[in-house]
Structure 1
Amino acid sequence: MSRLACGLAAALGLLALAAAPGPAAAQGATGCAALPARIPMPREARPEYLEEPNWRARVADVSRLVAADAGRAQIVFLGDSITQGWFPQVWEQFYGHRAALNLGVAGDFTQGLLWRIQPGGQWPANLRPKLAVLLIGTNNAGFAQQPEDTALGIAEIIRVIRQKSPSTKVLLVGLLPRGADASDPLRRMNQRVNELIARCADNQSVFFTDPGSMLVDGQGRLSDQVAFDRLHLSYVGYAILAAGLEPSIRYLLAR
């Protein structure tokens, strides 16, 4: 069986098992009341133009994409290399018919994404999608930043999106598992972030889904067939992720 067939089979076979939107939590009208701003705000929750040249080059590319297509976008995907790296065949199968924009930037952090969606950036006035799919924060964990600070950065991103486009629903995706097994410290950090950001969901404007359990086996092991470096997804990994997100995306686009 070809890799394409294997990937699509995985997507179809796992579609019915996908995670539903998370439980309701206290939520403000324009963001995540469960994770309020604090003084001083940590670096992870303040907009920052990052120094990395490849990040800056991709940001410039994304800015051109937004300028050309913002007015027609119905779904926007925001995130880091995991968002940027969708295999074209999987992306086309699931999102090609949905006027979707991929605004993922490899090497991004919560603070970098905050900078990108500030006034004059990559969320212009004519960007009014029905749905924003947000997956960000694993790079913060990789630099040993505190889960509480990473979670606050994600909450700030949600607040900015809600302020800029109140009609846009946010599908907040839990950070994906990383490392070979559940003992990996970075995986535990991601899990802690997920525990915190799940509280942002009100199931009215912000929804939480955690498809990570679909990427690991029954013993919590992450195969290199799913994530080739135990972080970035393979073709099969993206097919599984797409299947995990699909029920929530269909539900929210129909609301």
Structure 2
Amino acid sequence: MPSRLALLLMTALTVQGAIAADAPAAQTPRQCALTAAPRAVEYPWMSIERWRGMHAEQVARAAKGDVDVMFLGDSITEMWSKPVWDANFGQLKAANFGIGGDHTGNVLWRLQDPAIARLQPKLVVLLIGVNNLNLCGETPEQVFGGIQAVVAKLRTQYPAARILLNAVLPSGAKPDEPVRQRIVALDKMVATLDDGQHVFFHDYGAHFIGADGTLSAENQPDFLHLSEKGYRIWAAAMRPDIERLLNQPRPAQPVVLAADDVRAFAAAPAGFDQARAGVAQGRIEEFSYESRITGTRRKANVYLPAGYTAQRRYPVLYLLHGIAGNHDEWRGYVHAQAILDNLIADGKAVPMIVVMPNGRALADDRPPPGERTFTPAHIAGFTAFERELPEVLVPAIDARYPTLSGGAQRAIAGLSMGGAQSLNIGLGHPETFGWVGAFSAAPNLKAAAALLPESGHVQPRLLYLSCGNQDGLIAGSQTLHRYLKEHGIAHVWNVDEHGHDRESWADNLYHYAQLIFRQGGGASAAPQ
């Protein structure tokens, strides 16, 4: 008897053949998107009876509760192998609610079950829609309506949960195949559901598309479903976002805004954080150094601008990550390289070296899963890094790269936990850092009077504070801003319309990078 995967491959090849002829699967189009309904179609690889059995198994799992991460979708979600699942999600109280062949209407129906409705997930990982295209023959616009309905159902049913909304993964071997084009059109619409507060859209498709736009049969044997290697690729791409969304602080208190809690700059233009055609790109390399703080060899990512040469000296920006991140957060999550490449190419930022370290000075500096992120031992690693960066990392960077010396040629900034670290480190070492930025600073920042005593303290050339007006952690930044204002200390205070999210951090990097290393600095400068 053929295996389940073999039957899926045969069915997928039939479907792909029909789609290659620019037609839906060989069946009459069905209205699947918005109609909540159980499975009503038999497939060679799954009978209706088997579908009902899988749903019953999932209801039984839901009845046990204790689900922090709910994976929801179709066969691509269903078919995680146990080794890959356990290695990546085994410690996260995750449960799999994927069923092969499901479309949005099937998912809407399954969510109505009382046991599933009673779940209280912290995060829902949603991937759905490809079967609406391939098996139901629906248009991208119709499928988008179905995905929108599923997201709305999840928001209503699990109001405290965040949703990691996956783009439909690419299918079709070549970029010009009609199915690929339909998926591209669909994903553009799905991206608009990202609100930066509850729904977070991520497109992991780039991890499967080669330089020539083709898909690899090694990763997707039928150019649709994933192989074991494909699942490892998807897990590696998705796991940091899952941890980040699980660990991002929820609003701690109601946001109360003052009259001056407004934007200092217009929002960054569309596409500012995406690689642009024709723009010379810098490169990121891994740098390692011996830490006397941890007694281990530690890593950082180092961005070198386009045209980098050892015959020229560069100013250096240090970018620090959040509590659940690591040295890859600014590169992979915030897209720092694209932001800097574009600004430097446009002449809006000076060519600079950017160091993105791991701000957790521990022998084991990996971000721990779940609530262990907030343990005292873990927090102590961030405190220890406030010594390691100026005492160990800065000298190591200066010894390895052609840097300009002195505080006027060094900047520091960070997001969330890294924002508070940047204030503690930058304002505590004014001779080392002349430019200091904090984006959505976490509550671990020192008291304002300790950061900036009234007498005998060298002021930074630029002190840049920002937070979103939907961020429950804004109170700490507001308190520091008001202290600075009352004491006549020049600074930038930028309050955007975001929450505690990458949109805010990317936007503020865009503005901050234009201000640093300019003559004089100060709050009067304005990005373009």
Match of 1:187 among 170, 180, 185: 180
Where 1:197 maps in the other structure, the secondary structure is helix
Which amino acid in structure 2 is aligned with residue 139 of structure 1? N
Which runs of no fewer than 5 residues in structure 2 stay unpaired? 1-30, 42-47, 249-528
Q: Which residue of 2 aligns with 1:6?
A: none
Task: Quote how far apart the aligned CAs of 1:122 are.
Answer: 5.5
Instruction: Report what 1:220 is aligned to.
Output: 213
Whether 1:64 and 2:56 are equivalent positions in the alignment is no
The secondary structure found in structure 1 opposite 2:124 is strand
AA at the equivalent of 1:50:
R
Counterpart of 1:135 in structure 2 is 127
Does 2:38 correspond to 1:49? yes
Q: Which amino acid aligns with 1:104?
A: G
**Deviation string, structure 1 residues 107-131 (Cα, Å, up to 9, x no partner):** 100110011002x356222x11110
Matches within 5 A, 1:113-128: 113-118=107-112, 120-121=113-114, 123-125=116-118, 127-128=119-120
Cα offset, 1:141, TM superposition: 1.0
Question: Which of 89, 99, 105 lines up with 2:99 in the alignment?
Answer: 105
Contact 1:74 1:98 in 2 (8 A): yes
Larger radius of gyration: 2
For the 8 Å contact 1:62–1:122, the answer to whether it is kept is no
**C-alpha distance in 2 between matches for 1:121 and 1:109:** 20
Is the CA contact (8 Å cut-off) linking 1:55 and 1:107 kept in structure 2?
no
Alpha-carbon separation, structure 1, partners of 2:181 and 2:215: 14
1:155-189 deviation digits (Å, cap 9, x = unpaired)? 11111111111100001000001111112211211
Higher helix share: 1
2:83 maps to 1:94: no
The amino acid of 1:83's aligned partner reads T
**1:74 offset after TM fit, Å?**
0.5
Q: CA RMSD in A?
A: 1.3
Once the two structures are superposed, what CA deviation does each residue of 1:40-88 show, in whole Å capped at 9, x if it has no partner? xx641120112131333322222222223xx211100000000000111
Instruction: Give the counterpart letter for 1:88 in structure 2.
Output: K
Q: Distance in 2 between matches of 1:78 and 1:186?
A: 23
**Equivalence for 2:447:** none
After alignment, is 183-192 or 96-105 more displaced?
A: 183-192
Task: Give the corresponding residue for 1:14.
Answer: none
Counterpart of 2:73 in structure 1 is: 79
C-alpha spacing 1:245/1:207, structure 2 compared with 1 (3 Å) = same
- In structure 2, what residue type is equivalent to 1:254? N
**How does 1:28-47 map onto structure 2 within 5 Å?**
43-47=32-36
Which residue in 1 is equivalent to 2:152? 159
- In the TM superposition, what is the alpha-carbon distance from 1:192 to its structure 2 partner? 1.2
Which consecutive aligned stretches of 4+ in structure 1 deviate over 2 angstroms post-superposition?
A: 54-57, 120-124
Q: What is the distance in 2 between the residues matched to 1:135 and 1:122?
A: 21
In the alignment, does 2:237 pair up with 1:244?
Answer: yes
Q: Cα distance, 1:152 vs. partner?
A: 0.8
Amino acid at match of 1:59: H
Structure 2 residue matching 1:170: 3-state secondary structure: strand
TM-score under structure 2 length normalisation: 0.39
Q: How many residues align?
A: 210
TM-score (norm 1): 0.79
CA distance in 1, matches of 2:75, 2:51: 10
Query: Aligned partners of 2:194 and 2:146: how far apart in 1?
Result: 15
Report if aligned partners of 2:37, 2:109 keep a CA contact under 8 Å in 1: yes
Letter in 2 for 1:151: F
| Mapped pair 1:203 → 2:199 | no
The amino acid of 1:49's aligned partner reads P
Contact 1:198 1:208 in 2 (8 A): yes
CA contact (8 A) 2:71 2:125 kept: yes
Residues 215 and 223, structure 2, Cα contact 8 Å, conserved in 1: yes
Report if aligned partners of 1:55, 1:108 keep a CA contact under 8 Å in 2.
no
The residue type equivalent to 1:244 in the other structure is A
Residues 115 and 121 in structure 1, CA contact (< 8 A), matched pair in contact too: no
Are the aligned partners of 2:32 and 2:103 in contact in 1 as well (CA < 8 Å)? no
Measured in 1, the distance between the counterparts of 2:142 and 2:51 equals: 22
More divergent stretch after superposition (51-60 vs 216-225): 51-60
Give % identity: 36
Between the aligned partners of 2:106 and 2:164, the Cα distance in structure 1 is: 19
